[in-house]
Structure 1
Amino acid sequence: MLRPRGLPEAVLAVPAACVALLAGWVPLAAAEHQIVTIGPTLGFLSAILLVAYLADLDGVFTWLGARLAAACRGRPRRLLVLTFAVASGTTAVLSLDATVVLLTPVVLATTRRLELPPRPHVYACAHLANSASTLLPVSNLTNLLAFSATGLSFTGFTALMALPWLVAIGLELAVFVRFFGAELAPPATARPAAAPPRIPPVPLFALVVLGLALAGFGVAPLFGLEPVWVAAAAAAVLAARALARRRVRVTVLVAEANLLLCLFVFGLAIVVEAISRHLLGAPLRALLPEGTGLAQLLLTAVLAAVLANLVNNLPATLLLLSVLGPHPAAGTVLAVLLGVNLGPNATYLGSLATLLWRRVLAGVGATPRWREFHRLGLYTVPLTLVASVVALWASLRVLPAP
């Protein structure tokens, strides 16, 4: 979380994993199993990060920002609703990192250009990077890590999480409208009409590739293909076009794939396995309830949310998956995901995405206020978490999971 001197997280995680292996805290066979299990997941992560970067290079986010500015007509509340829609879609399709790193600066620039209060809109990007990441298996690294454990298909996962996703976003919007009411009110005096923003050309090629990739995520399992191959194909098409036009270098593409982040997750998985075996595994097994009734799902989600805010949502996910064992009930895993995805809106430390969002804003001179962030989280997290779990419970009654 601290990243002294900008060093990547892998600098600490990989040696820590080596210590765990050399000390015998994790058998070598177990470490190999972890690497084989999460390898495709991390391959997908690299590919989708590259897709998001290349989509930005093609002007997708600049175009979205211009469309937001034109559509809101200078009204802050309308801009907030549009930001919620764009951030939710970006998070679901391109993962939460794209919302934090690529969309947040665009939204901030849009509010400054329109002379509107930026806080409601940039805070929306942070919250939706977490709370809108529950819809698809590909929306969040936590989802990807847990997807195979659910035993669900891509469409089955999405069908069960659709209602919780909508409920969480709707409640977030209602709280934001109330919390930032003064800043979202129309100005007391009319501003002079601003010149309409110039809308750049539609990045048709990139949008078509993204649409085909999204469709491919749903269709690929029918042919026995993992989502990583769809994401890799989309990245290859966009990268080939960018290279042919000499808009990017190979070294930049390698850097944007963020292979060091994959090494970090590998190391973290081994360290968490050691912690599960020798420290927290037994207490968590005693606390986690059995069954998928409403009370059990609520308790599971709350435990996951608390753990995410104590140790960050990525290690919390790895730890809970280790404790749940090889064949947990799909409803239990989905409740865990609601906890580790919605819970991090309570504190800065809850998710790496929130820490990255704060770093992005600090880099452009708009550092958020920590008291305000935590106060907003206090209003949103309990409400969205409980309501989303109830929605999941209802979905499980209609669409029974294995």
Structure 2
Amino acid sequence: MLLVATLAVAIAAPRRVPEAAVAVPAAAVAVLAGLLPATAAWTETLRLAPTVGFLVAILLLAHLSDTEGIFRWAGAAMSRIAAGRPQRLLAVVFGVAALTTAVLSLDATVVLLTPVVFSTATLMRARPKPHVYACTHLANSASLLLPVSNLTNLLAYRTSGLSFAAFAVLMALPWLVVIGVEYAVFRRFFDTDLSSPARATQQPVGRPPVFAIVVLGGCLLGFATAGPLGVDPAIVAGAGAVVLLVRRLFVRTEPPVRTVWKAILEANPLFCLFVLALGIVVAAVSRHGLGALLAAVFPSGDSLVALLLAAAVAAVLANLVNNLPAALLLIPVAAGHPGLLLAVLLGVNVGPNLTYVGSLATLLWRRILRAREAGPAMGEFLRLGALTVPTALVAGVCALWLSLQLTGLGG
């Protein structure tokens, strides 16, 4: 009941009621009622703290990159490359959304890139639907590539024993395959929308935000080298955010206090508190039966059948209780088996494209479009998910199995 209440508020997203408003009391009740010992709750908090710290840092990094104009520049470049052709715009959006998700995490794609894509399509007088749908699908499915691309990835990465480079190598082929499947389905599903006439725009691209691009490139290099040096990825992302914040303060386009306050708000401290509280509630649920049940039905080994079953269990659970709780429940079950852990990530990252409930990012995307009076139709969302998710999930798992066989990194 505590978990259902916590997720219900997160999914409904009532105005002026943050997710933490229910999650924190629910976590407190779980501890005070003896459902989870205080020592276990503290252990869970310590386990999640580095991941939440990274979330704060990457949200700041994405926000400050946006203030440097990187997404406005990307929008102008997409418009120029598309040259009035909706089909070409979709291909460009796929590329930009996939890279944004991989480097800056899925939140940047949903919150910062989606409005830019919507405006770009509108300026071209193209139908925005295929392009904004691409943002939410790739925010989930294109987050497979790097440990820093998604909160679920980071949780699994800390348990997997894999290096940053090994994780990326194993997930590169599944990432490409899943994106390819998504693109093929999108071209057919939105054929009518993509065939509608549009116009080329003369929006000036301007100079690229070189400073922000260099900082992001440095962060990506830092992520790859941090593991062997024993440096937490949160420190790398935090350093990049500090560099951009100092530059912002130096430019002085607004009062420094206002700049810092905006950055604090963009770090979304209440959502971070929600993640910590949710972890405690999920730990209590796992302790009282669900963890044992999942362990009983979860496969073992790194065979293709085992990987497919692991991904299927993860996808179903993500659409029942949301992908973050699903990851928190399944990662301990799959611990010690890197191949199964990565299959779980395929399930909790690709699976949420099936329903609104599967991912908090999807719910946020829907809210952004509703604010622009372009809210998606549920039936259409479900039909697209039914076409993309099963095919992309099976293809992605097969690609993961092949990667494991070729590299031997999952043993």
Residues in 1 aligned to 2:15 and 2:113: alpha-carbon distance in whole angstroms: 26
Deviation at 1:235, TM superposition (A): 0.5
Please name the residue that 1:123 is paired with: 133
Q: Which moved more, 1:162-171 or 1:313-322?
A: 313-322
Residues in 1 aligned to 2:157 and 2:30: alpha-carbon distance in whole angstroms: 26
Note the 1:158-307 alignment, pairs <5 A.
158-185=168-195, 187=197, 194=200, 196-247=202-253, 248-307=258-317
Among candidates 9, 31, 34, match of residue 24 of structure 1: 34
Q: TM-score, normalised by structure 1?
A: 0.96
Q: Per the alignment, in what secondary structure is the counterpart of residue 35 of structure 2?
A: coil
Deviation at 1:244, TM superposition (A): 2.1
Q: Is the Cα contact below 8 Å between 1:276 and 1:323 reproduced in 2?
A: no
Q: Percent identity?
A: 57
Q: Is the Cα contact below 8 Å between 1:276 and 1:322 reproduced in 2?
A: no
Indicate whether 1:370 and 2:378 are aligned.
Answer: yes
The size of the alignment, in residue pairs, is 396
Among candidates 59, 65, 78, match of residue 68 of structure 1: 78
Residues in 2 aligned to 1:194 and 1:135: alpha-carbon distance in whole angstroms: 33
Q: TM-score, normalised by structure 2?
A: 0.94
Please name the residue that 2:98 is paired with: 88
Please name the residue that 1:389 is paired with: 397
- Runs of 4+ in structure 1 off by over 4 angstroms are none
Output the amino acid matched with 1:108: F
Residues in 1 aligned to 2:201 and 2:78: alpha-carbon distance in whole angstroms: 14
Residues in 2 aligned to 1:345 and 1:373: alpha-carbon distance in whole angstroms: 9
Unaligned runs of 5+ in 2: 1-10
Residues in 2 aligned to 1:268 and 1:186: alpha-carbon distance in whole angstroms: 45
Residues in 2 aligned to 1:195 and 1:343: alpha-carbon distance in whole angstroms: 36
Please name the residue that 1:361 is paired with: 369
Deviation at 1:194, TM superposition (A): 4.7
Please name the residue that 2:122 is paired with: 112
Residues in 2 aligned to 1:245 and 1:158: alpha-carbon distance in whole angstroms: 36
Deviation at 1:30, TM superposition (A): 1.5
Residues in 1 aligned to 2:310 and 2:13: alpha-carbon distance in whole angstroms: 31
Indicate whether 1:399 and 2:401 are aligned.
Answer: no
Q: Per-residue CA shift, 1:213-250, capped at 9, x if unaligned? A: 01110011121111111000000000111122234522
Indicate whether 1:344 and 2:352 are aligned.
Answer: yes
Q: Is the Cα contact below 8 Å between 1:273 and 1:322 reproduced in 2?
A: no
Residues in 1 aligned to 2:139 and 2:355: alpha-carbon distance in whole angstroms: 14
Among candidates 332, 339, 342, match of residue 334 of structure 1: 342
Output the amino acid matched with 1:19: V
